[in-house]
Amino acid sequence: MTTRAATLDAPVPIRRPASLWRDAWHRLVQNRAAVVSLAYIVLLLLIAVFANVVAPFPFQQQDLDNTDLGPGAGHLFGTDGLGRDELSRLIYGSRISLAVALVDVLIVLVVGVPLGLAAGFFGRWVDVLVMRTVDVLLAFPNLLLVIVVITYLRAVLDQPQGPLLGIIGSLDGITGGLLGVFIALGLVSWLTVARLVRGQVLSLKEKEFIEAARMTGAANGRIIFRHLLPNTLAPVIVAATFGIPGAIATEAGLSFLGLGVRPPLPSWGILIAEGVRNMRAFPHELLFPAVVLAVTLICFNFLGDGLRDALDPKLKVD
């Protein structure tokens, strides 16, 4: 706010036309925590994409002569009980976490936003159907629902019957159990955004510009996609960002419990579970994955905070 006041006094008559997005970007880069978090996330993204280049060892390469090494020159973060390089496993694990983040955002955009738009715009039975479903599913802890569903999925997908389940089952096998995690996540990750978008649409559709659009003869589809959707984008971005750490933590939690990704895939949840087993003798095997996971989740939260303040200071997303 202080900088805004300062520029008012300064003789700067020519200013590039401000848009919501440019203003938001300016506000975002002034938030130090958000900028540092964004830098960390971009770095993590690069590491995940180029994991095969960055990682010093293949994640599954065992070295039974050098098991449970502490952090040192040859293995920066040490090795695990099978002599696998901890750093390399962490690096490859970032791929799983960021894949989960990506899929979570996709579910929000492909399921949550359209359902919220439809519920808010069409009202009546569409609204009742969508919102009752959301209410029932939101009434219970996400993780409880996800665990119950994935218990069922695991049993069905391991011995799939029928052509459709067969395909899903073999895809789940190829992805090391990741598909099951995505399906379980798909059940819960769209809920809050659907509710949020519906609320936005309910208030927006009474506004004059929608009435004007309707008077010019715009069809429902045009009103929804050209007028309503762009106006809900800012809160959706914020909510999606806040959803990411939850999704990453859910995958890690499921894998930690042995319900998510299967070993030898190095999900951070699996690394932490292995670390817990060995923590009395080799605490570093627990410490590194736990800290990396925690820092990642905290950064996504700070970025979400920054985006919320930048896009709409009055907006509240939990």
Partner 1 sequence: MTTYVLRRLLWVLPSLFVVFTLTFILVHATPGSPWDESDKPLPAAVKENLARQYHLDDPLPKQYIDYLANVLRGDFGPSYRSVERSVSEIIAATLPVSAQLGLASMLFAIVVGVPLGALAAVKHNTWIDYVSSLITVTGIATPPFVRVSLLIVFFSLVLGWLPTGGWEGIFDSRAIIPILAIGLGPAAILARYTRSSLLEVHGQDFIRTARAKGLTETAVVIRHAMKNALIPVVTVAGVTLANVITASFFVERIYSVPGIGRQFVDSVSGRDYPLLLGIVLVFALLISLVNLLVDLSYGFLDPRIRYR
Residues within the interface to partner 1 (CB under 8 A): 136, 139-144, 147-149, 151-152, 155-156, 159, 245, 249, 252-253, 256-259, 272, 275-276, 279-280, 283, 286-287, 290-291, 293-294, 297-298, 300-302, 305, 316, 318
The Cα–Cα gap between 48 and 88 comes to: 11
Q: Provide, rounded to whole angstroms, the least separation between the CB of residue 250 and partner 1.
A: 9
How far apart are alpha carbons 130 and 196 in whole angstroms?
Answer: 12
Min dist CB 316 to partner 1, Å, is: 8
The two three-digit tokens of residue 86, written as one number: 């901890």
For CA atoms 95, 274, 186, 104, give the dihedral sign: negative
- 116 or 275: CB nearest partner 1: 275
Which uninterrupted H or E stretch holds 211? helix 208-215
280 Cβ contact partners less than 8 Å away, ≥ 6 residues apart: none
CB of 181 vs partner 1, minimal distance in Å: 15
Helix, strand, coil share (%) of the chain residues, nearest 5: 70, 0, 25
Q: Give the span between the Cα atoms of 29 and 8, in whole angstroms.
A: 20
Distance of closest approach, residue 53 Cβ to partner 1, in angstroms: 28
CB of 143 to partner 1, least distance (A): 4
Using DSSP, state whether 85 is helix, strand or coil.
strand
Segment 30-35 long-range contacts (CB within 8 Å, at least 24 positions apart): 30/3, 31/305, 31/306, 31/309, 31/310, 33/302, 33/305, 33/306, 34/302, 34/303, 34/305, 34/306, 34/307, 34/310, 35/306
Q: How far is the CB of 196 from partner 1 (least distance, A)?
A: 16
252 near 97, Cβ under 8 Å?
yes
131 CB burial (10 A radius; 0-12, 13-18, 19+): middle
Nearer to partner 1, 168 or 210 (CB): 168
* Nearer to partner 1 (CB atom), residue 178 or residue 272: 272
Evaluate whether 28 touches 310 at the Cβ level (below 8 Å). yes
* Smallest gap from residue 27 Cβ to partner 1 (A): 16
| Nearest CB to partner 1, comparing residues 15 and 316 | 316
Cβ proximity to partner 1: between 148 and 212 the closer is: 148
The answer to whether 146 and 256 have CB atoms below 8 angstroms apart is no
Nearest-angstrom CA–CA distance, 11 and 167: 66
Q: Which is nearer to partner 1, 120 or 245 (CB)?
A: 245
Question: 133 or 175: whose CB is closer to partner 1?
Answer: 133
Integer Cα distance of 101 and 57 in angstroms: 25
Closest CB 276 distance from partner 1, rounded Å? 6
* Nearer of residues 114 and 258 to partner 1, judged by Cβ: 258
Q: How far is the CB of 224 from partner 1 (least distance, A)?
A: 31
For partner 1, the closer of residues 50 and 140 by Cβ is 140
Place of tokens 């589809």: 221
Residue 32 DSSP label: H
